[in-house]
Structure 1
Amino acid sequence: MSERNVEPKPGDLIEISRPGYKHWAIYVGAGYVIHLVPKAQAGINSIMSVLSKKAVVKKELLWEIAQSDACQVNNKYDQKYKPLPASRIVREAELLLGTEVSYRVVCCNCEHFVTRLRYGIAQSDQVRETVASAMALIGVGVVLGLAMVLGSLLLPRKHEEK
């Protein structure tokens, strides 16, 4: 469940809406967040970050990261998992500052990073939803392709005029 216009508290998940994807961070207080930044990223809003294999854990002001993009508190798994204590979330995030970690958009992205800190479980709905959408598109393509093939085999052919 997302919480628009809610003042973040330490340990909250912050969802930042980028064109084409969501960036995630952990709020640590005084306007700062800790987040995972892919090393090959040309700019903070770059979709090209999916090509990166390494990321760095950084602490930055939320407003500098969000810029003009919408952001909100989104502790989306609180109904499913019990959040770890805020002091532990913040402490563990701060211990990781400056650390270079493996980055894979499918299994080790910024959403996995923050959900592991908050809940102890790394998850990314963004990846799951993208894979499901891709599979649906592939399925539609297969069905249309089969329909075209079957249609051409089963429909009577026009005879040439004599």
Structure 2
Amino acid sequence: MSWKPEVEPKRGDLIEIDRTGYHHWAIYIGDGYVVHLAPESEVAGAGLYSLRSVISDHAMVKKEPLLEVVGNDEYRINNKYDGRFPPLPEDEIIARAKAEVGRVIAYNVLCQNCEHFVTRLRYGTAVSDQ
């Protein structure tokens, strides 16, 4: 898998963003936008999502342009759990993601992180290898 996708993501794809020492996750909802879980104080493209995520105990669900969230980092489409869990229907994934936007939810880097969040949207099951 390339860290700069040669193809555009499809609605419902998991996006893995390579941050220093950490991978941030988002879900692509179409038209260049993603939904992701990030600390409330962050702004897209700041490059510090990972640092603040590690020390935060809550985060906000945000809808932002993919390229702003990525900033100067590299990213890839990574639906790595498709072999273990069947993805939900595309329309359901997108509806679930959009319904979460603006919510502030509990966050824990080990058991309730950004990867858990997006995998729950795509598969109905929260999972993370981080």
TM-score, normalised with respect to structure 2? 0.89
SS of residue matched to 2:82: coil
92, 96, 105: which one aligns with 2:100: 96
Aligned partner of 2:69 in structure 1 is: 65
After TM superposition, give the deviation of residue 44 of structure 1 in Å: 4.1
Aligned partner of 2:20 in structure 1 is: 19
- Does 2:48 match 1:45? yes
Aligned partner of 1:139 in structure 2 is: none
Aligned partner of 1:120 in structure 2 is: 124
After TM superposition, give the deviation of residue 6 of structure 1 in Å: 2.6
70, 78, 87: which one aligns with 1:74: 78
CA distance in 2 between counterparts of 1:49 and 1:41 reads: 10
CA distance in 2 between counterparts of 1:45 and 1:87 reads: 31
Aligned partner of 1:84 in structure 2 is: 88
SS of residue matched to 2:35: strand
Bigger strand fraction: 2
After TM superposition, give the deviation of residue 40 of structure 1 in Å: 5.7
Greater RCO (CA < 8 Å, at least 6 residues apart): 2
What letter is aligned with 2:58?
A: K
- Residues 39 and 52, structure 2, Cα contact 8 Å, conserved in 1: no
> Matched residue pairs, number?
125
- Residues 32 and 65, structure 2, Cα contact 8 Å, conserved in 1: yes
What letter is aligned with 2:69?
A: I
SS of residue matched to 2:126: coil
CA distance in 1 between counterparts of 2:42 and 2:64 reads: 16
CA distance in 2 between counterparts of 1:105 and 1:92 reads: 22
After TM superposition, give the deviation of residue 56 of structure 1 in Å: 0.4
After TM superposition, give the deviation of residue 39 of structure 1 in Å: 3.1
Aligned partner of 1:7 in structure 2 is: 8
After TM superposition, give the deviation of residue 73 of structure 1 in Å: 0.5
CA distance in 2 between counterparts of 1:36 and 1:63 reads: 16
The higher radius of gyration belongs to 1
Bigger helix fraction: 1
Q: Identity across aligned pairs (percent)?
A: 53
TM-score, normalised with respect to structure 1? 0.72
CA distance in 1 between counterparts of 2:42 and 2:56 reads: 7
Counterparts in 2 of 1:106 and 1:41: CA distance versus 1, 3 Å = farther
After TM superposition, give the deviation of residue 41 of structure 1 in Å: 5.3
CA distance in 2 between counterparts of 1:110 and 1:18 reads: 13
- Uncovered stretches (5+) of structure 2, i.e. residues with no partner: none
